[in-house]
Amino acid sequence: MQGKHDYVLSQISDRPWSEVDPGIVDVARMGVHQIHELRVPDHAAVAATVEVARKRLGESKASFVNALLRSVTRKEYSEWFVQLELVKDNVSRFSILYSHPEWIVSVYFDLLKDWEAVENELRTNNIPALPTLVSWPGYSTQQELIDLGAEPTLYSELGARIKGNPGNLDLVRHRLAGVQDEGSQLVATVFASAAAGTNWLDLCAGPGGKAALLSSVAKSRNINFTANEFSQPRADLVKKVVHGARVWCGDGREILNRGEFFDAILIDAPCTGLGALRRRPEVRWRRTLNDLRNLTLLQRELIEAAITTLNDEGVLGYATCSPHLAETSVQVLDILKRHPELEHVDVAPYLPANLQDAQRGKSMSLWTHKHGTDAMFLALFRKKSSVTD
């Protein structure tokens, strides 16, 4: 709600809000959030926030915070947004109403081409997701989750949604099932449906959700599975959930140095995370266009490394938890341009029958407002055989 709070406070402040001391900004936002989101009584919210300001910022700045918050309480929250109805620019208006930076609003419109859909996506980003469970083949079933009171997921045959703390469930505590968004489940299961061969790799495995599911599928098919993760702490987390499968800790861009080749490789690439803002709302304010440039370069380097270790007829899966064109469709076009030995595999045959509307070209593209999942993207490629008749 940062954007909405800033809009209100900017109308009250006697100086440009962008020039106000960051400490004051942070504390004032906390106060507005208590008043209008947490419904703390006005006097209690103001008093508590001013006391924090006094201890952290000093008496003078605390007085400014006090003046700001007392002004906020003089109107109903909705009254502060009346003037927004006169703003004809949807990017600016939606940015304030739904607390998203303008560049993210523009990104969504570039993809969805429909302002109603954009508004729905922004709105759902502000609604926390219910915990989603995943059954791991060979260790648990969806029916076992349902028997515990969970509701089956709409698309994934392995998932179920549950209210409450999943950590209280024996299946989760004993690592027979996990907690994983349905979109991530679909990335793993669609990839596994397309993959073949006897040696699979998850190149960017941390913190382990997709690796856990893929390792259980691989084990049920007598397939060797390896999870690679750059960060040692995250690699340690992966080890706990991959059912004894091999885990490497190393830079995925240097995977060729391992001297091993694979029949199927999933790259769940580091990305801006714009498809999972309901889980990590702070990301929308931390990410910048400079981050996007750096991440797309890293994605390309990981893709290049993976292709060098992919066997002929092998399947490459490229996934992100971002719908941004630069991280999805543009990367797909770049892969096909740089690597004529790869063919773009249509995901349609591998999608659930009720998920055919999740196609972007030959790739899978999920949306939170449409599918109730994180906005995941998956493209599949197959390496053509180098042997000619």
Tens of pLDDT, residues 310-363: 999 999 999 999 999 999 999 999 999 999 999 999 999 999 999 999 999 999
Query: How confident is the model at residue 263, as a pLDDT?
Result: 99
Instruction: State mean pLDDT over 247-265.
Output: 98
Query: How confident is the model at residue 387, as a pLDDT?
Result: 59
351-382 residue pLDDT tens:
999 999 999 999 999 999 999 999 999 999 99
Instruction: State mean pLDDT over 114-134.
Output: 96
pLDDT at 237 over 70: yes
Q: Which sign does the torsion angle of CA 177, 178, 183, 188 carry?
A: negative
For residue 103, count CB atoms less than 10 angstroms from its CB and return exposed for 0-12, middle for 13-18, buried for 19 or more. Answer: middle
Catalytic residues: 321
pLDDT at 389 over 60: no
Confidence of residue 214 (pLDDT cuts 50, 70, 90): very high
Instruction: State mean pLDDT over 161-183.
Output: 95
| Three-class secondary structure of residue 362 per DSSP | coil
* Residues near 232 by beta carbon (within 8 Å), at least 6 away in sequence: 249
Instruction: State mean pLDDT over 83-102.
Output: 89
Confidence of residue 388 (pLDDT cuts 50, 70, 90): low
Query: How confident is the model at residue 385, as a pLDDT?
Result: 85
Tell me the CATH architecture of domain 1-86. Answer: Orthogonal Bundle (1.10)
Instruction: State mean pLDDT over 229-251.
Output: 97
| Token digits of residue 114 | 């429909």
Rounded to whole angstroms, the Cα distance separating 326 from 16 reads 34
| Three-class secondary structure of residue 154 per DSSP | coil
Written out in words, the top-level CATH class of the domain with range 182-383 is alpha beta
Q: What is the pTM of this model?
A: 0.90
- Choose among 237, 227, 236, 231: nearest CA to 251: 231
